Every structure is written in structure tokens, then in C-alpha cells.
Amino acid sequence: MVAKTYAYLYGFTHYNPYTKQERNLSWKETPLHLQNYRADMRENLLMLIRYANQQNPDFKIIVHNGQDLLTKSLWEYSRDGYNTARHNIDIDDEYFLFHHKDWENEPERGTSAYEYLHKIDAIAIDNFYCGNGKFTNLAKNQHLDLITIEQCPDQSAVDSAKASSMLDKKAIYAFSDLDTAFNSIGDYDMINDSAKNIYNISDAQNILILNDDSRYKTQEQLVDDLSKTNYDILVIKPLFAYNQRFSSENLKKLHFKKNGSKRLLIAEFNVSEANPREYYWLDGWHIGTPDWLIRPSFSSPDNIITKFWRLEWQKIISRYFKDVLNEGFDGVFFTGVENYNYFEQQNPLE
């Protein structure tokens, strides 16, 4: 019997919604200092990216829904104003929030936002063609590659999105059936099937995102199916079934299309959510124990959102990330980036 599958990626599935307590926020005590969760997320990503650059300068960095980290945000400016107000002026001053009008400009050289902007290769955006997804001018001007992930209402809309992506020369993953998205190769119609070798994301004309391998009993079955495709980019979990390394022979197979040409093999890597099936999980762990395990994921039925800035979690993802590089993947597809939003919303400023 095939295991139950979960097609999950932030923005497409909605598990574990906000509780009533999380929606109805009130400060019992006005905090003296607010943490900058976006900066914490940037630093986590940069910690991993810097290491990757040292080990392999050609290692590709793709960030799912990472555009809001390209610049210092309005929330961050508001947070700076709040912290200044709490330390220097009367908290009752209704103008304590500092609304900066230039948050969409390129960040200042020497800042973490500037480094992040210049060290990533591509942004993956939800529903660029079948919704309201935006690709900012800053990202365009920096010549970041765009990968689009489209949940379209029907097959006609899927075909239209594919046609638009062909004209725009963007790699696309489009679907209308969420039950088979991200967990199945299915009969997904390839576009721009090419025998060209793919060394850069900008060369890619199609992509398969398969971050749920639970339909497969063995890694050999998965590799066999993937090896019969001509996708320019494959995005998969770095470990089969969460805890099994791919053999060197199987990884070698995945680096090549059915037609024999080279493609990019990318590892999906969640930077802010833990999963009880991962190798690092210890007996007795659950939400609240250890205290950096916060709440169930919004996009996965099993994952748990972490206090991603905590040293304990940083050590876990650092070790995991080193394994990804050592395995020989061509790059990484960072997910879970959006979870800074949860912590910001527990401290509403706007």
C-alpha cells in the first residue's frame, strides 16, 4: 500500500491555522526591545550560504519566497523606531513608528541585506502567472533568476502559464491538482524539452519540484522514475524518506537527463522547521520541549516551527547543510523562509 502523501509548500497548503489566541494579540507588558526576526532569518541563510561559497563557489542558491529579505523592510524600520522610542522618548507618543519610504531601494553596502542580495542566484515565487506573485524591480535589476511555482485553476490556465514562461524564458512548475503536486512526476507535460547541458539556473527552461517522496517505497524506484525525465532542474529532499542517504550511484544518475545531457540537482532545505522523522530528532522532543520548538507548521502536517535564531537549531541545520554539500548536490532550494512572519505578527507594529 502506498504511503499517504502530503503535497506541501508554503503558500499552497494550509495546515494548523492561527489559533484564536494568536490572532487576538495584546501585550500584557510593553516590551522594552523587539527582536528583528527578518535579520535573524537573513543571518541564518547567510551562515549557510557563506559556507557553501567557501566549499563550492558554483553552488546554486535558490530561495523560495525570499524576496522580502532583499531589502530592509517597513516592519524593520518600524521596529527600529519602536526600540528607539522605548529607550528615548515617551511611549505614548503616537509618532514613535518610523515609516521609511525607501525600503524597496537597494540596501546599503556592508549590510546583511546587501550581502544576501548579492549572494543568491534565484528567487522562487508563488503564482506569478496564475495569481498575484510579484518579481520586484530590485530583483530584476540584480539579474536574479526567477522560478515560478503556479497553482492554476484548471489545465487551460496551466497551459497558458507555461506559454507565458516560455516567452519570458523562466523555469516553471505549474499544476492544477494539489493532490499530486510536489509528490509525483505524473504525466506532467514537459515544456522546451532540450538536450542542452544545464550549468546555470538561467539556462533552465523547466523544473520538477518533488519534495515529498512518500509515494516511493525505495530510493531506487524514485531514481528510476526521475532518470526517465528530461527536466533541466530537479528539486528533491537531500535524504530519501527523511533519513536515508542516496547512494553515490543513484546521485550520479540524477545529475543527468534521460537524453544524457547534464542537469542541475537541487536539494530542498527547510531552514526553520523541524520534522520528527529527521535523523537529528531525539526521543522526548515535542512542541515546547526543547523550548525552541514553537508550534505546528502552517504548510506541513508534520513539521514544527522553530525559534530559528537559537544556537541549538543553528547547529542542527549547519551539520545537515554540510552533508548536503558533501553529497554532491548542485545547489539548494531554501524553504521555510517565511516563518519570520509568524514571529513578527506576534509583535504587530503596522
Query: How would you classify the pairing of strands 233-236 and 264-270?
Result: parallel
pLDDT tens, position by position, 241-272: 999 999 999 999 999 999 999 999 999 999 99
Q: Where in the chain are the domains?
A: 33-71+106-345
DSSP class per residue in 103-148: TTSPPPTTSHHHHHHHH--EEEEE-SSSS-----HHHHHTT-EEEE
Query: How would you classify the pairing of strands 273-274 and 145-151?
Result: unpaired
pLDDT tens, position by position, 277-324: 999 999 999 999 999 999 999 999 999 999 999 999 999 999 999 999
**What CATH number has the domain spanning 33-71+106-345?**
3.20.20
Q: What is the average pLDDT across 37-59? A: 97
pLDDT tens, position by position, 59-90: 999 999 999 899 877 777 777 777 877 766 55
Q: Greater confidence, 302 or 105?
A: 302
In this structure, are residues 289 and 249 in contact, taking their beta carbons and an 8 Å threshold? no
- What pLDDT, on a 0 to 100 scale, did the predictor assign at position 350? 52
pLDDT tens, position by position, 175-234: 999 989 999 986 656 667 889 999 999 999 899 999 999 999 999 999 999 999 999 999
Q: Rounded to an integer, what distance in angstroms lies between the CA atom of residue 266 and that of residue 33?
A: 39
- What pLDDT, on a 0 to 100 scale, did the predictor assign at position 96? 47
Mean pLDDT of the chain: 88
